[in-house]
Each structure stands twice: as C-alpha cells, then as structure tokens.
Structure 1
Amino acid sequence: MTTKHLLFTSKIIGCFLITVAFFSCKKEKSTPQTQITPVTLGLYEYVSGINKRIFLPITQVGTKSVTYYSVFDTGSSGMTLDATDILPASMITSSGIQVTGDSVVVNGITVTSTKGTISFGDQLSSTKEYGNLAYANITIGDAQGNLALKRVPFFLYYKIIDETGAKLPAHASDVFGVGPGTSYVTSLIQSPLRAFDTGTSLTSGFKLATLNKSMFSTSGTYVTNLLTIGLNNSDLSSSGFIMHPLSYSSSGGYSANIPATIEYNGNTISGQILFDTGTPSTTVIEDRLATTSVGDLPANSTVTITTNKGFVYTYTTSSTGNLTEVQNPNNTGDYRTIFSLDFFLSNEYLTDYSNHQIGLKNN
C-alpha cells in the first residue's frame, strides 16, 4: 500500500448510536426481512495552506470511546490506527506491541501476534508504520451521524517513522483506507466499509459526492451527505457513473488504478491513474519520457485525461489549486499517475466492492 500524502492529526468529541433491527416469523405467516437502505454520513473538510483533507471521525473502537479523525483515503485499503490510548501503555514498547500467544483481547480489541510494516510514499521518500493485525467493532461518524461496524480487521500501529528517521506523534497517521484491494501487510485487512451489512437489497460499496470547495476550513467543517455506504441498483445503472472494471493481483487484490491517456503541455502518454483523496495538494504525472528537470507544471497549464472507458476530465493548473508536477517513474519507482484531492472537487466517485469496479462521474 503506497500513497503520496502529508500527515495531519486532529481530534473531535462525539458520541455513537447503534441501531439493531429484528424480525420474526411464524409457521402460518411469514414476515418479510427488513429492507436495508444505504447509510449516508458527513465528512469534515479541512485545509492547511494548500493542503486539503477530508476526515471521517472514529468514535468507538472495541469498548473504548475515542475522539479521533481519520483521513478518508481512496488510495489505500484498510484502517490504520495508533495503539496509543487504545491499548494500555504497558503493552506498547519501543520494540512493539506485547502479545502473549496468538492473540490477546484488551478493551474489546483482539490484537494478534501478526506483525507488519506499512510504507507510504515512493523510493525517493517513504514513511513507515510498524504494528499488528487487530480486530474490533468500530463506530464511524459522530453525533451528527454515525454507523457501527462489526469485527473490522485493521492495522494497529505503535510507531511511525518519516523519511528523515524522525518518530511522528501518536495518531499522526490514522487512516481510513477504502480502496478496493487489500493491505500489503495481510490480505485480511481491507476497507472497513466492507463490514457494512448490505443484506440482499444492496451492493457492497460506497459513493463519494462532489466535495464543497467553499467549506474547507482550518478548523474542519462538517459537510453533510458526502459519503453513502451501500449501493443500490440505480447507482450502478442509471446515475451517470462510467464504470471501470478493476484488475486483480495476487499482491494487494483488486487495484484501484485505471488505464488512461494523459495529455499535458503538448505531450500525450498512457498510464495508470489512481484517484486519491489521501493526496492533499499535488497531482503527480509519471512520464517515462520526462526529464528530471520537468518538475512543477506552470500555472495555466491544461491537463486532460481520458480513461479506457471514455471518462474525460480536463483541468487548468493555478498557483493555489490543481497543482501538478511531472516525474520520471524510473527515478521514483512508482509508475502510477496520482490525482490529488482537487479531482474530487469536480467529480463524483464510486467503488463497487462486489463487482470489482470504480465509477467516475463529472459534476
């Protein structure tokens, strides 16, 4: 799992609500199952300088009430959460989380002995998290709207080291990864939204509405109705999304990368595109023919992408938005062109976990 983004940490105070539906039947009369409907939540839109983030609150982990924002990230798969204040301090040492045997249950959280490392970035700069596979019931959202998810597998990390070797503060990289694949630590970790019970009436997945550019603030502004969990038939057939089937890999599962043609400053190249809410400011075009001196595209440059299924998106760079740089993948080791959060200011995004496809829609 690799994404290109900066790291922020923030806290909120919230509460949670769990709703349980029951039904019964008798021999002489059957009662139809309660219809499950999609759940819509708001997200917090945050900005610091040129860097934008969208945060999803996490307010319950196991039996622990918590008050953390997590970065809502389409560019990775699986939740990562710092163990600080989640586990007893005595369990967390400089060499790792102490687990006796195969697993231990603490505060309603099952912490396994399976260890791993997650890297963010590319071969030029990389931030690393160290931790363990864990399971817990979690509640996402806060008092303004929330959802309880059962037994979610996630990565519980005990330290994070940036590219300079410095240890980052606790909860500096709590990420809610909703990509269609699996974590490179273990295939057991995948998007927590897969834990949502869709019943027989919905398809597993989510859609992200166009973000509200005017609502980004330094304090974080709650914006309603941005995230819909659970897809209905109209989402997949008549809502205007252009669907892109995904490719499977034995390492990482289904990839969110979409084949496309990229045009910029008179150049036309082919590549794989990742649309990544976890990249806060700068789109990176990977061009095998680029020279090391290309760097940032100047303001008023025009970029157009056309996917292999006919989705077209054009934007113009400026000094404050749609920032774009060109890199040579032979130098970075990453051949994906990664679109930043600015893409989501003009387009809707959908991921269908059941049918392994991503939907894109101009708005």
Structure 2
Amino acid sequence: MNQYIRLVLNVLGMAVIFTACKKDNDAGNKQGAVTIGLYQYQSGSYKRIFLPLTKVGTQAVNYYTIFDTGSAGLTLDAQGILPASMITADGIQVTGDSVVVNGITVTSKTSVMSYGDATGLFKEYGNLAYTTLTLGDANGNITTQRIPFFLYYKLVKVSTNETMPAHSADIFGVAPGFSYASQLIQSPLSYLDVGSNNKKGFRLALLKRDRFTTAGSYVGGLLTIGLAPADLLPTAGFIMHPMQYTARSGYSPNIPATITYNGTSTQAQVLFDTGNPMQTIIENQLETNALGNLPVNSVVNVTTNMGFSYTYTTTGSSNFTLIQNPNNSDDYRSIFSIDFFVENEYLTNYTDHQTGLKND
C-alpha cells in the first residue's frame, strides 16, 4: 500500500489499493453515456469507493478521490500539483486575479470547506481553480472539459487545530447543487457532454459486498455517466424524487422520509451518502442526547415521500446505526451510510433535478 493511501486511511478512514481487472469497453474520450469502474476498499468497519484521477491539467497523476454522493464538487490537495514554492502555511500564492500552472488556472478567490458536523469537524482552506481532468485509469477513463474545483492547501481538525497530511481529503463530490466552497463549483459529472439524446447525470450500480476487501478491488461497470432515456422509464425500476432548490445551496439530494426503528418513528430529511463510510446517523429531536448506537438485530425502515421503502437489520459487522439528537450534531439530516448502496441502486438526474432509488 503506497504512502499516499496510508495517509488518507489514517486520517479519515479513507483508503484504496490496486487490483487489475478487464477494461470497461465503453469508456473513453467520446460524446455520450460512458461506464467506468470504481475501487472498493475496506479497513475494519470502514468502507470506501474511490474514483481515480490520472491527469490534472497537463500532469499525469495517481490520486484516488472519495466518490461522494453527499457533497458537490471536487476538492483536491495542491501538494504535488502546484510547485512547492506557491504553497505556504498562509495560502496559495497567486499574483493578480489568477495564474496558470501546469494547465491549471488558480484564481485569487479563497474559501473554506467544512466536512463532518459539530461532533467531528474538519476544515479545508484553498482557492477556486479550473482545469481538465482524466477520470478513471487504464481500466477505463474519460477526460473532462475545463471545469471548476476547489484546490486546497491545508486541512485542519477543528477540535485539536491539527493540520492533517496532504491529500487526506481529496473528495469527488457528485451531489447536485453548489459546493460550499463556491457556487461556481458543482459536481464534475454535471459538466460532461453526454450527447443530445441523454440527460446529464449518473447511475451507480450495486456495490459488490464481497469486493470490499483490505486488498482492495477494482470493480468494472459501477458508474454510468449520462442517463439514457431507458434509464428514466418506469420499467427501469427507479422511484424518482424531485429535488428541492434553495438560492444558497442549489438543488438538494435530501429526501423527505419517515424512519422507523424499534417501534419509534420520526420524520426526516434523508441523505443517502457514499461518503459516510460506516455508520448511519438518524437524527431525532425527541430522543435523549445519549441514546447512542442501536443494538445488534435492530430493524430499521426508511420510507420516502414518493413511496420508496428500504428495511435493514443491524449486525455486528454492518449497518451500524446511531440515534442522535440534532442538538449534539447541529445537523438535522439523517444520513444513511455506504451500506445502503450494497442493496440499492442510485441515480442522479442533473438535467431534470431528480434522485432515483431502486431496490435490488
């Protein structure tokens, strides 16, 4: 396991390693829907899926970004991408409005990104930037046009003011709406030309339960970029949910739902989040602050306002579920973890502002 991957795992439970597999036949630099693979990795109870980046601007790179349905926009560490002389403890040095380095336009517009909640918060500091990207690797890839992203130079754990190692939070956020760093930044997948007959968006196939291993696995065909008309027909089996819009955040992936666990029912705004590596978090204002984790063999059901329903049982090795009062977290969303995606397919339609959910 290389040093970069170890740093990511040690800081935030994020990791991947390489195993060869056959190429995805329909991926490449062409107009229309394409399908590429992702890497599945597990360390203890933590699971991650990663999308490789093999070119940033004019540079060949070897970075593995967390594929995250819970946030919008790419965040990428400047270390190894910009000359070291441009990166200081106080920020990225930019003369004037912007500078072009290695095919990357770095602007003087700075911002701060936050990840986590009041119980565990990390902050990224950096600049708005623009570049082209090659998504995927030799197993299958696609190159984007010039798109905006957040280029960070520092990641800090707020509770300790500790600066984390470089590339600890390279995140490929595919949620709809705007990045918290800038309203100019959205999901990289939303900028891709998928052809006149298709909708902008993506479909995530079922993750493979047996491919989450400490050795890591490349799994072909997991991510389809661009939605064909057939993907959106009722016969495809997805239950579609309209997205809500706010001026501050744009379109939201949160879905109104009712959650029931061990005889208790609560109304919720639900986020299905591949970026949550281990534990579903159910927020309930009526619960005590110290309720904590549900015991093994607890039954949980979520039913959305459009009739999608999913039930699971907690075990000693998966579907860990925490019941929390939002007064603790300052976050009123209930967030379902990556375990959801082992049993359900997921679709985001950027063109028509819809989220699709499908039982399998």
TM-score bucket of the superposed structures, by smaller chain: over 0.9
Partners of 2:302 and 2:311 within 8 A in 1? yes
SS in 1 for 2:12: coil
Match runs of 1:1-363 below 5 Å: 6-8=12-14, 36-163=31-158, 164-237=160-233, 238-363=235-360
The structure with more radius of gyration: 1
2: distance between equivalents of 1:353 and 1:18?
20
1: distance between equivalents of 2:115 and 2:35?
29
Partners of 1:7 and 1:172 within 8 A in 2? no
1: distance between equivalents of 2:99 and 2:19?
28
CA distance change for structure 1 residues 345 and 119 in 2, over 3 Å: closer, same or farther? same
SS in 2 for 1:119: strand
Q: How many residues align?
A: 344
1: distance between equivalents of 2:239 and 2:50?
26
SS in 2 for 1:227: strand
Partners of 2:194 and 2:225 within 8 A in 1? no
SS in 1 for 2:232: helix
Partners of 1:105 and 1:111 within 8 A in 2? yes
Partners of 2:16 and 2:39 within 8 A in 1? no
Q: TM-score, normalised by structure 1?
A: 0.92
Q: TM-score, normalised by structure 2?
A: 0.92
Report the CA distance between 1:19 and its aligned residue: 5.8
Amino acid at match of 2:182: T
Structure 2 stretches lacking a partner, 5+ long: 1-10
Partners of 1:9 and 1:173 within 8 A in 2? no
4+ residue runs over 3 A deviation:
9-15, 17-21
SS in 1 for 2:202: strand
Structure 1 stretches lacking a partner, 5+ long: 22-35
Amino acid at match of 1:325: L
Report the CA distance between 1:95 and its aligned residue: 0.1
Identity %: 57
2: distance between equivalents of 1:37 and 1:98?
38
Report the CA distance between 1:174 and its aligned residue: 0.4
CA RMSD of aligned residues (A): 1.8
Partners of 1:80 and 1:155 within 8 A in 2? yes
Partners of 2:19 and 2:218 within 8 A in 1? no
Amino acid at match of 2:357: L
